[in-house]
Amino acid sequence: MKLQSPLSSVLCLLASAGSVLGVSGPFLTQLNESAWVFGNEIWNVTQYQTFATKLWYDERDLVGDAVGHYVSYNGAASNFNWTSASVTANTSTYLDIAFSAIEGDMHWVIYPDLAGAYQYFVNHGLPVLGEFRTLWRLDNTTFPKGRTNVKDEELPALSEYSAATKIQDETWERADGTFITKYDWTAWTRTWDFYGVYGEDAGSWYINPGKDYYNGNQLKQELTVHRESSTGDAVQLNMLHGTHFMASSSDVFSDGKIWGPWLWYLNNGSKADAEARKTEEFSSWPYAWFDNAWYHNRAAAVKGSISLSDGRPASGAAVFLGDNNPNKTALDMGGGYYYTTYADADGIFSFEHVLAGTYGLQAWSNGSAIADVSTSLLVNNVQVPSSNGSVDIGAHVWRLNDRRRLFQLGDFDRKALGFKYGGAPYQHALVDRCPANLTYTVGKSNTSDWCFAQSANGTAQILFDVDAVSNQTAVLTVSLGGFSAGTNAEITLNGAKVGNLSSLASDQSLYRSATAAGEWRLLEFSFAGNLFRKGSNSLAFTVKNSTKWRGWIWDSIILEWA
C-alpha cells in the first residue's frame, strides 16, 4: 500500500511525550512528501528525507540534538535520500514498512509489543563500493556507555576531545600521552553477539544472529560504537559492508541482494535483558516470519571433513564457504553470502543454514594442533542444494608441501597471537612498546619474546644453528597478520639480502588499534643454500626508513629446505 497523500492533520495526533494518540499497533503515517511518522505504541520515530529523528521511547526523545538514524555508503559522502514509503506487508502479527531510495529499500518490521524493529535492506542500485552502513546517532547524555562482546565501558566525554591533540584520523592524544580513538571499539564481526550504546535507563542495541550477508571471513573486524568527536553523539554503527583493517574491498551487488534481517532493540539499559533477547534471536534464526522464498531456500547444515596429506586430521582449522573460483582473498569477498566455522579435533566441520548455491570451500590453519601448516585448502564447485536436513559435501584432502623445516617462529594462524602484546585489547600505538632492536634465539627464546609488530628503525633478528651447509635451495616463508605501508624492511641471511618487506597494498590495521591482525599476506623468498654457515646463522629484518605506527603485524616466520 503506497502512502502518497500528505496528511498534515496528523500533527494534532502527536502528544508532547511523543506517543501517537488514537493509534493501535504498528503504524505508518505520512506528514508530507518527505516526512513520515512510524512505530507502535511503545516507540515511534519521525523519518525525513535523509534522517530519522524524534525517537520517542519511554516518554522522551532518545535522539535529542543528535543526527538520528540514516543509511549511507562510502562513509558519509553518500547518504540515502528517501523518495517514498510503503507498507509491503500488513499481517496479523507485524507491519513491514519500506523506505525507498535510488539505491534500494530499507525495511522496518514492526510488531505491536516489540521495543524496536527488525530491519533489512534490499539492493536495487548500489554502486560498486567498499563501505555500506546503517546507523543511529543518539543523545550523548542518555547513552554515555558502549558495549560489544570485547569491550564495555564509558564512551569518552566530548570535553576530552577538545582538551586533546588530534594526531590522525579520529585519533587524539591526551596530555598524559594516552589516546582517544574510535577504532578501540572494533570487534570481530563473526563473533558479535549484541552491541550498542546504553545508560542508566535506556539502551539501543543491534542483535544480528545471521551473519552470512556480511563481507569477509573469520578475520573480518569492524567498528561498532563510538563517540562522535565533533558533536558528542553516541554512535551505533551497523557496518553491513565494511573496509576497516582491509587492503581492498570493492564489490558489485546483484539487484535484490538482501542484507539482514537483524534486530534493532530498545530497552531500559539492561545488558542482562539485551543478552536474553540475543539468546532468543539467535535460536530463532533464520527467521520464520520473513516472507521470502529465496531467504528460506537453504540447507539446514553443510557438513564435511578435512584431513592433511600427511594423515593428520585438520584439527581446529578455520573453514570458510565463499565465492566459487575466487579472484580475491576470503577477507575481501563481499558480493555474495559467506559462512564461517572451525573444524573439530577430527577435522569434521559443519556450516548451519546455508543458502542454496555454488561455493568455494577454503580452509587454513587456526593454530593449535596444525600450527605448522602454511599451505591452505581450496575446493571449488561445492554444490549446496536446498534441503531441510544436512548436506554432506564429503571428505577433502589438504595438500602439504614436502619441505624440510629448519625452524618456525610463531603459530601459523594468520594472527599475532603468542607474540608479545599479540591479541591485546584494541589500542592505538601499541607498536611503540616493541623494541627497535630484537633478538630471538631458536631453541632458547620463547615465542612471547618476539614482539607482535615491527615499525621503528632497527633490526629484529633470529639466531639459529645449521648442522651442515648445503647447495640445496632454501625457502623463507613470511606470514604477516597485517601490513600498513610506509615502513620497509630488508631481509638478510648472514648479511646477504634475500628479500624485503615493502610495496604491499596497505591496510589500516597497525595504525588503527589492531593488535592481532589486519589483511593477511603470505610471502615466500627462495635463495641458495650456500648463504648458510655451519653453526650459528642470523636471519634479520632491518628497517631503515619508517613511518610512525606503520609497519606489519607478524603471524609466522618459517625457514625450510625446498
Give the pLDDT score at 23: 61
Task: Kindly give the residue spans of alpha helices, DSSP state H, lying in 151-196.
Answer: 158-162
pLDDT in tens, 371-380: 999 999 999 9
Instruction: Yes or no: say if 298 and 317 are a contact pair by the CB < 8 Å rule.
Output: no
Does the pLDDT of residue 2 top 50, yes or no?
no
Q: Considering only CA atoms, which of 151, 180, 144, 187 is closest in space to residue 165?
A: 180
Spans of all domains in the chain: 8-284, 298-398, 404-561
Query: What is the rounded average pLDDT of the residues 190-197?
Result: 98
Q: Tell the CATH topology of 8-284.
A: Beta-galactosidase; Chain A, domain 5 (2.70.98)
Instruction: Yes or no: say if 333 and 322 are a contact pair by the CB < 8 Å rule.
Output: yes
Q: Let me know if 427 is exposed, middle or buried by CB neighbors in 10 A (0-12, 13-18, 19+).
A: middle
Give the pLDDT score at 18: 42
Buried b (16+ CB within 10 A) or exposed e, 414-424: bbbbbbbbbee
SS (H, E, C) 368-405: HHHCCCCCCEEEEEEEECCEEEEEEEEEEEECCCCCEE
The C-alpha cell that represents 251 in the structure block: 564489490
Instruction: Yes or no: say if 282 and 275 are a contact pair by the CB < 8 Å rule.
Output: no
- Which pLDDT band, with edges at 50, 70 and 90, does 3 fall under? very low
Name the least confident of 76-80, 236-240, 275-279, 396-400: 76-80
- Which pLDDT band, with edges at 50, 70 and 90, does 364 fall under? very high
Q: Considering only CA atoms, which of 80, 44, 56 is closest in space to residue 36?
A: 44
The C-alpha cell that represents 176 in the structure block: 598524559
pLDDT in tens, 332-356: 999 999 999 999 999 999 999 999 9
Query: What is the rounded average pLDDT of the residues 73-96?
Result: 93
Q: Report the percent of the chain where pLDDT is more than 90.
A: 93
pLDDT in tens, 311-337: 999 999 999 999 999 999 999 999 999
DSSP code of residue 11: G
- Degrees to nearest 5, angle at CA 319 with 315 and 324: 145
Which of the two residues, 77 and 87, has the higher pLDDT score?
87
Does the pLDDT of residue 239 top 80, yes or no?
yes
Does the pLDDT of residue 15 top 80, yes or no?
no
Q: Report the percent of the chain where pLDDT is more than 70.
A: 96
pLDDT in tens, 515-560: 999 999 999 999 999 999 999 999 999 999 999 999 999 999 999 9
Does the pLDDT of residue 148 top 50, yes or no?
yes
Give the containing element (helix H, strand E) for 273: helix 271-284
Name the least confident of 248-257, 408-417, 457-466: 248-257
Distance CA 109, CA 111 (A): 7
Does the pLDDT of residue 9 top 60, yes or no?
no
Q: Let me know if 11 is exposed, middle or buried by CB neighbors in 10 A (0-12, 13-18, 19+).
A: exposed
| Cβ neighbours of residue 292 closer than 8 Å, sequence gap 6 or more | 258
Class of 298-398 in CATH = mainly beta
Give the pLDDT score at 389: 86
Query: Any idea of the CA torsion for 460, 466, 470, 472, to the nearest 10 degrees?
Result: -50
Distance CA 362, CA 317 (A): 10
Give the pLDDT score at 24: 75
Residues facing residue 463 across a β-bridge: 441, 538
Average pLDDT over the chain reads: 94
Give the pLDDT score at 511: 98
Distances (CA, A) of 107 to 7, 136, 263, 282: 22, 15, 11, 20
- Which pLDDT band, with edges at 50, 70 and 90, does 142 fall under? very high
Give the pLDDT score at 130: 94
DSSP code of residue 211: -
Give the pLDDT score at 249: 84
Distance CA 552, CA 244 (A): 16
Phi, psi (rounded to 5 degrees) for 516: -125, -35
Contacts of the segment 275-282: beta carbons below 8 A, 24+ positions apart? 275/193, 275/194, 277/194, 277/205, 277/207, 278/193, 278/194, 278/207, 278/209, 281/207, 281/209, 282/193, 282/209
pLDDT in tens, 454-493: 999 999 999 999 999 888 999 999 999 999 999 999 999 9
Does the pLDDT of residue 10 top 50, yes or no?
no
pLDDT in tens, 429-458: 999 999 999 999 999 999 999 999 999 999
Output the CA torsion sign for 390, 393, 395, 401. Answer: negative
Q: Considering only CA atoms, which of 347, 274, 263 is closest in space to residue 305?
A: 347
Pick the CATH number of 404-561 from 2.60.120.260, 3.90.105.10, 3.40.50.300, 2.40.10.340: 2.60.120.260
> What is the bridge-based pairing of β-strands 458-466 and 438-441?
parallel
Residues facing residue 27 across a β-bridge: 39
Give the pLDDT score at 17: 35
- Which pLDDT band, with edges at 50, 70 and 90, does 502 fall under? very high
